[in-house]
Amino acid sequence: MPASSLAQETAEVLSRLGVADSAYTDGSLAVTSPITGERIAEVRENDAAGCELAVAAAEAAFRTWRLVPAPKRGELIRLFGLELRTAKADLGRLVTIEAGKIVSEGLGEVQEMIDICDFAVGLSRQLYGLTVATERPSHRMMETWHPLGVIGVISAFNFPVAVWSWNAAIALVCGDTVVWKPSEKTPLTALATQALFEKAAAKAGAPAGLSSVIVGGRTIGEALVDDTRIAAVSATGSTAMGRAVAPRLAARFARAILELGGNNGAIVAPSADLDLVVRGVAFAAIGTAGQRCTTLRRLFVHDSVYDSLLPRLRKAYASVTIGDPREAGTLVGPLIDKAAFDRMQEALKKARADGAIVHGGERVLEELGGNAFYVRPALVEISAQTEVVRTETFAPILYVMGYMDFDTVLEAHNAVPQGLSSSIFTNDLREAETFLSAKGSDCGIVNVNIGPSGAEIGGAFGGEKETGGGREAGSDAWKAYMRRATNTINYGRDLPLAQGVSFDV
């Protein structure tokens, strides 16, 4: 492989992060950087036998790991968090190179990993069960939480490492072991994360096989999904992927944690603070080049503020710096690949056919590489939620629609198949509370006066409907990674039966 300067830099970063060069040279999986479209590595892929070995090792490790006291398991995650702190600059840089995120977002992704490690360390002393009132005298009833088993993690390209850490940090303190299949578009960051984890595991004296990476595409993902030794699979990606994975897991009664596509909306009410709206919408709709599951894709603007907001949004869109994500000042980096660009153009064509006015959306900066795809984010004025608006296109397209009546806009907001994230900009208490209420947004994330993207790890993350229903990260999401036992203990001399049943023999 001819060594471009980006390939050389990638190799240097990987070496500092502890990844052996045999893992990413002369392999069968070509990795390109979306920054220039150049090939930066050729990663060794795993076949079915490799998957089999990783799962066998994880299953063996589970037998000892489940017996280690949870706070001691937390110590491993504390040490892993320290490794991440030390390696933050390099791992963040690798996220930028491999996924095309701007520098602050690459670093932010690693910060999110550090944050979830801190959360998991605290959690390792708080895996509480309930004591439940029993109807029988001299009895006690309680819940205990036990490790579940091997957890398969399938992740998407756009959060190449943070999503794994939401799952792995929690699963490991819960006493589970993990096998990770990262996106085939971003295996390098996964290999680097694994190297950092192994350093921490060696320092902690943890058993081998607690966490491993298998590299490859759909086929190896399917092998993981079908492996009956895997108790739960956490799968992050498109709704199409979830539709393929969910029935396979259901067929063998495995637990599924599905984090799928979003089509996130925001409502701008008459009382909204428009300064806040412009900044909130710009970050949520344009940030990460529209490649977040929580990216704002549908904006409902009250007719009374439409004509004052739209010019301001157009100005913000025109002023945003698009370019090489490594450069200071760049706010919008590249799309992940040509397929993403083609899908964006197809969606804009459909929107035009539906009568929309499209501002932006064209390819720019072709000089950065024939195989690099930078676009001007698109602002699309459209009168109705046509099929294309109801579909997630993973690119920076914001559909803007006017509205007159609050109840009607609530209906429209919820009238899409996805249910991940949502927000309302309003200073009207009744509107804000209604949006948060049972008749309000039907999403898993519901915000007021901030955009739908950029969640913190402390809350449970995930969404409803075609987003899959899974919850990850904070709050009580840990319960999905453990099995619950209800225990009844009789400390008396009689044997009273529940519901007053008598059965004397």
Q: Which residue, 406 or 461, has its beta carbon nearer to ligand NAD?
A: 461
Q: Which of 59, 259, 466, 472 is catalytic?
A: 259
Residue 184 contacts ligand NAD per CB under 6 A: yes
Count of residues engaged in binding ligand NAD, rule: CB under 6 A: 30
> Within 200-219, which residues bind ligand NAD (CB under 6 A)?
217-218
Query: Residues 271-310: x/- map of binding to ligand NAD (CB under 6 A)?
Result: ----------------------x-----------------
Chosen residue from 4, 25, 111, 238 binding ligand NAD by CB under 6 A:
238
Chosen residue from 62, 119, 159, 403 binding ligand NAD by CB under 6 A:
159
CA distances from 63 to 58, 67, 78, 204, 252 (A): 9, 7, 22, 17, 22
Looking at 249-375, which runs of residues are DSSP E strands?
A: 255-259, 264-268, 296-302, 357-359, 363-364, 374-375
Sequence-distant (6+) residues with CB within 8 A of 89 are: 107
* CA–CA distance, 257 with 246 (Å, rounded to integer): 9
Query: Closest separation between CB of residue 224 and ligand NAD, Å?
Result: 7
Q: Which among 72-80, 126-134, 236-244, 357-365 is the span making contact with ligand NAD, rule CB under 6 A?
A: 236-244
Q: Is position 259 annotated as part of the catalytic site?
A: yes
Chosen residue from 32, 124, 183, 393 binding ligand NAD by CB under 6 A:
183
Spatial contact of 421 and 391, defined as CB atoms under 8 Å apart = no
In the three-class reduction of DSSP (H, G, I as helix; E, B as strand; rest coil), residue 206 is classed as coil
Chosen residue from 38, 83, 176, 222 binding ligand NAD by CB under 6 A:
222
- Host H or E run for residue 247: helix 239-251
Q: Which residue, 59 or 466, has its beta carbon nearer to ligand NAD?
A: 466
Query: Sheet of 230-236: strands edge to edge?
Result: 211-213, 177-181, 150-154, 230-236, 255-259
Residue 244 contacts ligand NAD per CB under 6 A: yes
Tokens of residue 157, six digits: 């390209």
Query: Closest separation between CB of residue 73 and ligand NAD, Å?
Result: 25
Q: Is position 51 annotated as part of the catalytic site?
A: no
Nearest alpha carbon to residue 403 among 433, 373, 431: 431
Following DSSP, what letter does each residue of 3-72 receive, concatenated?
A: --HHHHHHHHHHHHTT--GGGTSS-SEEEE-TTT--EEEEEPPP-HHHHHHHHHHHHHHHHHHTTS-HHH
Residue 221 contacts ligand NAD per CB under 6 A: yes
Query: In the chain, what's the furthest Cα-to-Cα distance?
Result: 88
Residue 392 contacts ligand NAD per CB under 6 A: yes
Query: Closest separation between CB of residue 364 and ligand NAD, Å?
Result: 22
Spatial contact of 303 and 79, defined as CB atoms under 8 Å apart = no
Chosen residue from 87, 94, 123, 241 binding ligand NAD by CB under 6 A:
241
Catalytic residues: 259, 293
Residues that bind ligand NAD (CB under 6 A): 154-159, 163, 181, 183-184, 217-218, 221-222, 225, 236-238, 241, 244-245, 259-262, 293, 392, 394, 420, 467
